[in-house]
Amino acid sequence: MYRFYINNIDDDYHYMELARVFLPDDGFETIAYSGKPVAHLLGSDSFFVNEKGSDDREEIKREFYELLSCITGMRPPWGTLTGVRPLKPALEICRESSVDEMECIIREKYLMSEKKASLISGIADYQLSHVSGIPWEKASMYIGIPFCPTRCAYCSFASNVAPAEEREKYISNLLKEVTCAGRLAEENGTELESIYIGGGTPTTLSSEQLESLIIRVSEAFHIDPAELEFTVEAGRPDTITKNKLDTLKSLGISRISINPQSMKDETLKLIGRDHSADDIREGFRIARETGFDVINADLIAGLPEENVDDFEASLREMIGLKAENITIHTLSVKRGSRLRDNDPGYYRQNAERVSAMLDLSRKMLSSAGYRPYYIYRQKHQIGALENVGWCLPGKHSLYNIRIMEDKQTVIGLGAGAVGKVYHPEEDRLERIANVSNYRIYSERFDDMISRKKEYYK
């Protein structure tokens, strides 16, 4: 095991996260330390970092990155950046510098590769050109529907296969929570900028349940869904019917997601999906016939037994289906997923192959007229890589951008939803998390209502 003594720090969290990019969790230890190196502490696998005692975190991280690179022979492309939101520091720099200057600064400051710095530059340029308004003047809302037809091998979300009567009980409580949240929003003068119904798979619900939910939201918050960004995930094509999509469209919903993850039938079966690529194509056909303005499609780079050619074929088909919004995810192998249980170290494999997939996606999407518009990273992603949302110009998701900015109140409703109250004067967020288990959500419903009354006041 490697031991790294980090001098002149109080908290080793940021250095531990950086070491995790290079080494397995059980292969190292980071230790906050003050003073001169003590000879007996340092063996062949022990190292002293920041001997000169700098108090500049980024300087220390650059030194640590170079040491880890020397030990492992790796140079991860995101450099010293380990957080979920790699765009945030770039946008901060853009307040005083041009986008081109920012690109140079982040390469030097964070040891970022030329490709990743260029990607960040493209996203910053898109947001600065296409997104206006002060984020905290309005709020966004997320509604969680924690049900799916089956559970995918990589899934760690609050998604469950549940009988009809349990889904009905859940919806009954959710409608009450919507009513309560709407009353609190009215009392506080809170206006909504965007609404996102996710999951799970919201279209696991019946047409009648979807209708009752959207009508309740419209009434409780005094909004017309057609007059703001309102997205409903229809992620699994085996839950899409003409009747459900007609219902959504008739209520003013203009945006849906159909999320193939792959267009290879063998992969779909391997990851636990009970549908084929033809079902995805049929879902798109129905959605186009129904007349939605924006369809988002998700693909995952790094799925088991897929090569670059498989990924290219899936992406080529999404572009051919003219999805206005395409999100390229790097596979993340999280706790609670079947894939993690079967192979805890899976995310440390195939980094070069997945990196090639991401490079290919950038070339193909750029050539097809798409622009990168938002980005985020997750723990235990293959190669410590990233997820990037691409859109045809003007077809971005404002909800996705605001969530990554972390400067807006989010009203979170339903099991697994995480609400946030933003305090602009302090640039601070308070989290209000609902329980993730839908049964416990019903059992502790009164408690969650009480918490909302406490925070949204």
Predicted confidence (pLDDT) at residue 40 exceeds the cutoff of 80: no
The DSSP secondary-structure symbol of 261 reads: B
Q: What is the mean pLDDT of residues 309-324?
A: 97
| Tens digit of each residue's pLDDT (9 = 90 or more) over 42-91 | 778 899 999 999 999 999 999 999 999 999 999 999 999 999 999 999 99
Domain match, 103 and 148 both:
no
Domain hosting 312: range is 133-413
Predicted confidence (pLDDT) at residue 147 exceeds the cutoff of 60: yes
Domain match, 326 and 252 both:
yes
Domain match, 61 and 101 both:
no
Domain match, 223 and 237 both:
yes
**Within a domain: residue 238?**
yes
Domain boundary among 60, 75, 90: 75
Q: Which residues contact 73 (CB under 8 A, 6 or more apart)?
A: none
Domain match, 64 and 113 both:
no
Domain match, 92 and 233 both:
no
**Within a domain: residue 419?**
no
Q: What is the mean pLDDT of residues 199-204?
A: 91
Q: How far apart are CA 3 and CA 64, in angstroms?
A: 12
Q: How far apart are CA 117 and CA 90, in angstroms?
A: 9
Q: What is the pLDDT of residue 272?
A: 86
Q: What is the mean pLDDT of residues 330-351?
A: 71
Give the closest residue to 170 by CA, choosing from 128, 212, 138. 212
Three-state secondary structure call for residue 88: helix
| Tens digit of each residue's pLDDT (9 = 90 or more) over 362-408 | 999 999 999 999 999 998 898 999 999 999 999 999 999 999 999 99
In degrees, rounded to 5, the angle at the alpha carbon of residue 16 between the alpha carbons of residues 12 and 22 is: 155
Q: What is the pLDDT of residue 175?
A: 97
Domain match, 43 and 171 both:
no
The pair of three-digit structure tokens given for residue 211, joined into one six-digit string? 């209708």
**Within a domain: residue 444?**
no
Share of the chain above pLDDT 90, in %: 79
Give the closest residue to 274 by CA, choosing from 196, 204, 357. 204
**Within a domain: residue 89?**
yes
**Within a domain: residue 175?**
yes
Alpha helices (H) in 189-290, listed in sequence order: 207-221, 242-250, 265-270, 277-290
Q: What is the mean pLDDT of residues 118-134?
A: 97
Q: What is the pLDDT of residue 5?
A: 92
Report the CATH number at residue 146.
3.80.30.20
Q: What is the pLDDT of residue 290?
A: 96
| Tens digit of each residue's pLDDT (9 = 90 or more) over 396-439 | 999 999 999 999 999 999 999 999 999 999 999 999 999 988 89
Distances (CA, A) of 374 to 128, 143, 172, 301, 402: 12, 21, 34, 17, 10
**Within a domain: residue 404?**
yes
Domain match, 150 and 9 both:
no
| Tens digit of each residue's pLDDT (9 = 90 or more) over 107-119 | 999 999 999 999 9
Domain match, 58 and 95 both:
no
Q: What is the pLDDT of residue 183?
A: 95
Which run of H or of E encompasses 104? helix 99-110
Q: What is the pLDDT of residue 341?
A: 60
From the number of C-beta atoms within 10 Å of its C-beta (0-12, 13-18, 19+), residue 328 rates as buried
**Within a domain: residue 378?**
yes
Alpha helices (H) in 155-252, listed in sequence order: 164-188, 207-221, 242-250
Are 324 and 295 in contact by the 8 Å Cβ rule? The answer is: yes
**Within a domain: residue 251?**
yes
Which run of H or of E encompasses 255? strand 255-257
Average pLDDT of the chain, as a whole number: 92
Q: What is the mean pLDDT of residues 5-12?
A: 94
Q: How far apart are CA 351 and CA 331, in angstroms?
A: 10
Give the closest residue to 389 by CA, choosing from 324, 439, 334. 324
Confidence of residue 449 (pLDDT cuts 50, 70, 90): confident
Domain match, 55 and 98 both:
no
Domain match, 163 and 92 both:
no
Domain match, 391 and 244 both:
yes
Q: How many structural domains compose the chain?
A: 3
Q: What is the pLDDT of residue 338?
A: 66
Give the closest residue to 360 by CA, choosing from 381, 390, 324, 402. 390
